[in-house]
Amino acid sequence: MIEKLKQNEELWDLFTKKEEYNRVFSDQYNRFPYYLSSQRNVFDPGVSRFLVENGLHPEYPEGKKFAVCLTHDIDVVYPEKRCLIIETAKAVAKGNLAEAIKTPFSRFNKKWNPCWNFKEIMELEAKYNAKSSFYFLALHPGEKDFNYKIEDLEAELQFISTHGWEVGLHGGHESYNSFEDIIEKKHRLEKVLGKQVIGYRNHYLRFKVPDTWELLSKADFKYDTTFGYSDCAGFRNGVCHPFRPYNLNTEKQIDILELPLIIMDRTLLRDYMRLDVKKAWELIKNLIDKVEQYNGVITILWHNNTSIDGKNLKYYEKFLEYVYSKEAWIASGEEIYNWWHTSVEKKH
């Protein structure tokens, strides 16, 4: 496959993201955003189409045509005071006095805390015969965006893992560019979890091609799922299948599997694309249909604290209903990795 792809210079440059090597410009988080890319057809998986036309025909469990990888970045476990003030004011405006009274105290009460919803997410996914991946931060007090100590969540991590869902690492702001930071956080999470962590996504989708892949491979992660644009949904390198990245500097494949991120909740709505709910849903369906067409894997990131119209999981369930109706294989990153590594890569 790689040799065939090399023969098409345009697609090879897109697949390897040649334009991101020795980049001159970046955004405020040192990311390479879509608006700086020469790629203008980000909603078309052109590289995957080429691969399928040249012999890539992945199969999935139970004869499913395509797969869905469900993931959650756990940035926040304790609601920020500013958010509590806003939610309290909203409850008062709606005349919901019971909600207005309990909201200020939700930071200290798990039952009232809307971010302490791991079991709720798992129960929802189980309705659709699905499992997902939860990526937890392992930050120290004083680090940017510190919200919780991973050691305080040992019972929750154990519950998630023992029920068959995945716990992975959500690297901190500087992890993408520091082997020492990645390793320290990986070991810390593994100590709490009591088992090896194989999956990774960096906070704020901070990523550097090809360096971050090399660091993650060196740290013995089996897969990454950071690789997607923060400011636009779609296919960052034209691929809607898991792939082994290729380092143009060493002219070698990197020993890690990338599950490219295609949809992030915050990208579609308030933070970047600023689509209304209707247009966001139309784009989501379009991307799902594209991935189905090429027997790919669509990875979605839905934060545990995302609320749309005051409801945390309503629109996430709408996504689950749609892919379930299309008979997709809905799985965690770990399940996708294991299947692709043992059943697909060996055939190709």
CA distance 70 to 217: 22
pLDDT score for 81: 56
pLDDT score for 2: 86
Whole-number average pLDDT of the chain:
91
Mean pLDDT of 43-54: 97
Mean pLDDT of 287-307: 96
**DSSP secondary structure code for residue 19 in this structure:** G
Residue 103 above 80 pLDDT? no
Q: Do the Cβ atoms of 247 and 213 come closer than 8 Å?
A: yes
Looking at the domain covering 2-78+116-347, what would its CATH class be?
A: alpha beta
Largest CA distance in the chain: 66
**Domain positions in the chain:** 2-78+116-347, 80-114
Mean pLDDT of 154-179: 98
Q: Do the Cβ atoms of 159 and 122 come closer than 8 Å?
A: no
pLDDT band of residue 79 (cuts 50, 70, 90) is: confident
pLDDT band of residue 161 (cuts 50, 70, 90) is: very high
Chain center to CA of 145: 18
CA distance 222 to 284: 28
pLDDT score for 101: 44
pLDDT score for 110: 65
Closest CA to 263 of 215, 211, 315, 212: 315
pLDDT band of residue 96 (cuts 50, 70, 90) is: low
Find where tokens 């999981």 sit. 313
Give the least confident one: 1-10, 13-22, 119-128.
1-10
Amino acid at 309: D
pLDDT score for 316: 96
Backbone angles phi, psi at 335, to 5 degrees: -65, -45
CA distance 116 to 134: 13
Backbone angles phi, psi at 277, to 5 degrees: -60, -40
Residue 322 above 50 pLDDT? yes
pLDDT score for 90: 46
pLDDT score for 1: 78
Rg (CA), the chain: 20
Residue 108 above 70 pLDDT? no
Q: Do the Cβ atoms of 231 and 33 come closer than 8 Å?
A: yes
What 3-state class would DSSP assign to 308? strand
Query: What pTM, to 2 d.p., does this model score?
Result: 0.92
pLDDT score for 62: 96
Mean pLDDT of 227-248: 98
pLDDT score for 86: 44
If 0-12 CB within 10 Å is exposed, 13-18 middle and 19+ buried, where does residue 274 land? exposed
Q: Do the Cβ atoms of 202 and 225 come closer than 8 Å?
A: no
CA distance 206 to 202: 6
